[in-house]
Amino acid sequence: AAGMAAPTMEERKACWGARDDFWQCLDSHGDDAAKCEKLRRAFESRCPQQWVKHFDKRRDFLKYKKKLETEGFHPPEAAGKS
């Protein structure tokens, strides 16, 4: 159960820092994960796996939200029907 221990403040800071670096990289490369592989590995090694999953979902959600704000909502049913 040692691996499940809550991260210390130091570890949390390291994790968030790694996440921010990785996300910044994705932002500046149009989400090209290949260009950010090193940062992705740092992010994964500094954060508990559950957090990595959570942050990945969170990023997708934030991107989706931003897309809605900039492009407006398009119901999925409308897609592909011309």
Stated pTM of the model:
0.76
Please check whether residue 25 lies inside any domain of the structure: yes
Q: How many domains does the chain have?
A: 1
Between 2 and 32, whose confidence is greater?
Answer: 32
- Per residue in 29-49, pLDDT (tens digit) is 999 999 999 999 999 999 999
**How many angstroms separate the CA atoms of 4 and 73, rounded?**
40
- Per residue in 15-30, pLDDT (tens digit) is 999 999 999 999 999 9
**How many angstroms separate the CA atoms of 22 and 27, rounded?**
9
Structural domain range at position 53: 11-67
Please check whether residue 36 lies inside any domain of the structure: yes
- What pLDDT, on the 0 to 100 scale, is given for residue 7? 80
CA distances from residue 50 to 10, 36, 59 in whole angstroms, order as listed: 18, 20, 14
Please check whether residue 41 lies inside any domain of the structure: yes
Please check whether residue 78 lies inside any domain of the structure: no
- Note the maximum CA span of the chain: 56
Please check whether residue 61 lies inside any domain of the structure: yes
